[in-house]
Amino acid sequence: MPTRTTLTLDDDVAAGIEREVRRSGRPLKAVVNEAIRAGLERREELPGEPFRVEALDLGLREGFELDDVAGLLERIEGAEHR
């Protein structure tokens, strides 16, 4: 049994639905239900856990200081790096 409800749509969403109603010639109810179903199905297809990257400590070569950018560039690229 269908459930009757009131929704407040953001302006961009309402405009997109109205465009689809005009384009397809279908009723507002059908367009809204289809859009919601598509969004819910898409969410179900997404993996449950977000992709995570674990950082590894690669260490820093002796003599390199990350706080001294100019010195780091000079050491890596030479005195003529400018």
> Could you read off the pLDDT of 56-80 as tens digits, one per residue?
887 777 777 778 888 878 877 887 7
Average pLDDT taken over every residue of the chain: 86
pLDDT attached to residue 80: 76
Residue boundaries of the structural domains of the chain: 11-45
- For residues 76 and 37, give the distance between their C-alpha atoms in angstroms, rounded to a whole number: 55
Cα 28–33–34 angle (5° rounding)?
Answer: 100
> What residues have CB less than 8 Å from 21, skipping those under 6 apart?
27, 28, 31
pLDDT attached to residue 17: 96
pLDDT higher at 43 or 26: 26
Which whole number is the average pLDDT over 23-35? 96
